[in-house]
Amino acid sequence: MSESNSETDNSSNNERQHYCPTCKKPLRRILGKMGPFWGCSGFPDCRASLNDVDGKPSIDVDEHYRCPLCTRRLVKADEEKGDYWFCSGYSKGCKVTLTDHDGVPEAAYQCQKCNHLLVKRSGKNGVFWGCSDYPNCTASYNDDNNRPKF
């Protein structure tokens, strides 16, 4: 990771565009349920998110991860409960849980048909992504480098 903390005021006033500190794609301001934040337009390839400070992204990358379904923050479960993350909207009905991979929640993708999460499965013909709402939803997607091919 290269340090580029050169977000100083040598930019003109009408420059409203902000860029991802990780991949340099434009950031977009997202009105999450826990308040506004900035997400990378490269999502889901880039999962950077930044806190919103006075309508601008903070320089520091938000160390919290967001629920792929409802954009609330993900919370790491207590260690004795296991290595996983759950959605802070759990009590509001969002039951997303994601496996922990070295302190990072596993990548998760949303079904394009019903907005449930997809789960990676392996079938006779190899790995694919199926809807977690199966059998109510029978959407499935081929695997493309560890992500569903939409």
Residue 36's DSSP bridge partners are: 31
- In the bound state with Zn ion, the residue whose beta carbon lies nearer, of 48 and 98, is 48
**What mask, x for binding Zn ion by CB under 5 A, covers residues 57 to 96?**
----------x-xx-x--------------x-x----x-x
Please state the closest distance from residue 143 (CB atom) to Zn ion, in A.
16
- In whole angstroms, what is the distance from residue 117 CA to residue 120 CA? 10
- In whole angstroms, what is the distance from residue 45 CA to residue 47 CA? 6
**What mask, x for binding Zn ion by CB under 5 A, covers residues 26 to 45?**
--------------x-x---
**Closest by CA position to 59, among listed 2, 1, 8:** 8
* Residues near Zn ion (CB under 5 A): 20, 22-23, 25, 40, 42, 46, 48, 67, 69-70, 72, 87, 89, 94, 96, 111, 113-114, 116, 131, 133, 137, 139
